[in-house]
Amino acid sequence: MSQHVHQSPVRSRQIAVVLALVAVAFYVGTFFFWVPPQ
Amino acid sequence: MSSGSIAAHDHGHDHAHHGPTGLARWLFTTNHKDIGTMYLMFSMIMFLIGGSLILSVRAELFQPGIQIVQPELFNQLIGLHALVMIFAALMPAATGFANWMLPLMIGAPDMALPRLNNWGFWLLPPAGTILLMPLVLYFFGIGTGGADAGWTLYPPLSAQSGWGIDFAILALHLMGISSVMGSINVVVTILNMRAPGMTMMKLPMFAWGWLMTAFLLIATIPVLAGAITMLLTDRHFDTHFFNAAGGGDPILFQHLFWFFGHPEVYILLLPIWGFIPHILETFARKPMYGYKAQVWSLVCIAALSVIVWAHHFFTAGMPVQALLYFMYSTMSISVPLAVLFFCWIATIWRGSMTFETPMLFALGFIILFGIGGLTGLVLADVAADAQYHHSYFVVAHFHYTLFAGGIMGVMAGVYYWLPKMTGHMFNEKLGKLHFWLTVFSFNLTFMPQFFVGLAGMPRRIPDYALQFTEFNMISTIGAFALGLSQLIFVYNVVTTWRGKGEKATDGVWEGSKGLEWQLSSPPPHHSWDPQPVVK
């Protein structure tokens, strides 16, 4: 099937990895909104 | 538009497909249509479960005083109703449509990442089970019951509650991972799998709606996950993120939750705003009005949705400048939303309309969701919100938004695409009966809630003052009628799926436009193979 597909599967994986990293960054970033008690 | 002419397509044949059969077919499938079907079936089952939970609540609220459901169980029922409906019914329904229709509509053979797709779906049944299991065990006298702090899971209540909260936190993490994986797949598919010639401004509106939804999910689900991870560590590992006694801040949870929670409303609605214009143009037999205006409105709404979150807790206390900012930013969403409304109306204006079931649901959606939108403006007003906050007015408002806008929108989509999916027409008379019963009983259920809310009846309370009795009785009768009328929908869908109706043509509807209608009904196993060329 893949020979019919116009676009590159490598590019698909690259976009997916970038988006996954964005999601992880938002997850980790959430914890930095906690302000320790003064 | 995507309905442009197609230079070359050779799709009438289906390639020999030798996959597993029976349970293994569904367990291991990477086919977008199989996975879409599973999402939609899961959504329908959870919709019935979520509805049953709230009918118990409405039965209790038929009269003042405590009759059927004790307060501890009442809290579980309302919280789980919302969690089930939002995370296990509406979100999977939208993902089911995305899986089924996006490849067909953009001329792709399948979703870009099929194995991720399979994984994304199969996280959901365990997550749904984990979410509901504590409630089931509670009926057998085991444990402290399901999540009983509402779907917002606010600490300090959720920090002190029983193990249902832990189960809900685990379930939400799983559902969140599933949603993010599904969203990544949607973005990659739209950006990288479009048919040659289909530029972004030729994308079907449904693809634009889902693209915005996917970006919102990728940005906001991780924030919810972070917040509930902190809640989990507060509960079990002696951290003090939200514990005021230890220097933490419970209001921080509200900020983090609603940074996710408000975009979530648009996550549920943007895919529907995407396909409603397709339904309107089909049954009005006119081209969609204002394609570019609608696209940019969807983009604006998605962008604005992440900067308005604090209007959900005006009464929690914040500086006046913050109140004003969140009020005006919230109200500004009505501008692009009004553009969408006017484009929908202009699409059907002077059209050759016919009123098949999908069109009825689309028109019902516009009117009733309009009420939901306008009452949202009332709540966005800081001065007015001080009275309406945490009242039944809010409950009525978000059900006009999420039932009339969400569930009725989904039903419009199901009726619209069901003949394409199954190859058979549904029972039109039953569809129309379902629509009219739904509209009547929906208004009977939720219109009185505006009145009791304005009169001061608080939400999430199993008992109420005597003067609210009549309206609550009407609401309960409406709710049971609404619940029962959905069984017509289930019967109609199941019988159509089993091939009872007459054979559907490829175009299905007289005025249908777009690539998905050029494939056979049901479409071949590999949807567009080879891909079409859009001019």
Establish if B194 touches chain A: CB-CB under 8 angstroms: yes
The pLDDT confidence band at residue B288, using thresholds 50, 70 and 90, is very high
Handedness of CA B195, B200, B201, B204 (dihedral sign): positive
Q: What is the mean pLDDT of the segment spanning B63-76?
A: 96
Instruction: Find out whether B107 and B194 touch, Cβ atoms under 8 Å.
Output: yes
ipTM beyond cut 0.95: no
Test B188 with A15 for CB contact under 8 angstroms: yes
Would you list which residues of chain A are within 8 Å, Cβ to Cβ, of chain B?
1, 4-9, 11-13, 15-16, 19-20, 22-31, 33-37
Establish if B306 touches chain A: CB-CB under 8 angstroms: no
Q: What is the pLDDT of residue B1?
A: 38
Residue of B nearest to A34 (CA): B241
- What is the rounded end-to-end Cα distance, in angstroms, of chain A? 61
Is a pLDDT exceeding 70 seen at residue B336?
yes
Residue B197, phi-psi category: left (phi > 0), alpha (psi -120 to 50), beta (remainder): left
Test B227 with A36 for CB contact under 8 angstroms: no
The three-class DSSP label of residue B391 is: strand
Q: What is the pLDDT of residue B17?
A: 57
Helical ranges in B349-427 per DSSP H: 357-380, 382-388, 392-399, 408-422
Establish if B252 touches chain A: CB-CB under 8 angstroms: yes
Digit-coded pLDDT (tens) for B414-425: 999 999 999 999
CATH entry 1.20.210.10 includes domain B33-518: yes
Considering only A1-5, B186-190, B398-402, which range has the smallest mean pLDDT? A1-5
Q: What is the pLDDT of residue A35?
A: 80
Digit-coded pLDDT (tens) for A1-38: 444 455 678 889 999 999 999 999 999 999 999 887 76
Per-domain residue ranges of chain B: 33-518
Q: Which residues of A touch B249 (CB under 8 A)?
A: 34-35
Q: What is the C-alpha to C-alpha distance for residues B38 and B31, in angstroms, rounded to an integer?
A: 11
Kindly state the tokens that stand for B74.
């009442």
Q: What is the DSSP string of B29-79?
A: ---HHHHHHHHHHHHHHHHHHHHHHHHHHHHHTTSSS-SSS-HHHHHHHHH
**Closest CA relative to residue B256, chosen from B330, B153, B187, B328:** B153
Q: Which residues of A touch B182 (CB under 8 A)?
A: none
Q: What is the mean pLDDT of the segment spanning B439-466?
A: 97
**Closest CA relative to residue B271, chosen from B221, B219, B212, B217:** B212
Q: What is the mean pLDDT of the segment spanning B160-170?
A: 96
Q: What is the mean pLDDT of the segment spanning B139-145?
A: 96
Q: What is the mean pLDDT of the segment spanning B467-472?
A: 98
Is a pLDDT exceeding 80 seen at residue B86?
yes
Residue of B nearest to A9 (CA): B112
Is a pLDDT exceeding 90 seen at residue B20?
no
CB atoms inside a 10 Å sphere around CB B17:
9
Q: What is the largest CA-CA distance in chain A?
A: 62
Digit-coded pLDDT (tens) for B232-263: 999 999 999 999 999 999 999 999 999 999 99
Q: Tell me what the pLDDT averaged over chain B comes to.
A: 95
Q: What is the C-alpha to C-alpha distance for residues B192 and B69, in angstroms, rounded to an integer?
A: 52
- What is the rounded end-to-end Cα distance, in angstroms, of chain B? 9
Which residue of A11, A34, A35, A38 is the best one to mutate when testing the B interface, meaning the one whose CB has the most B CBs within 10 A?
A34
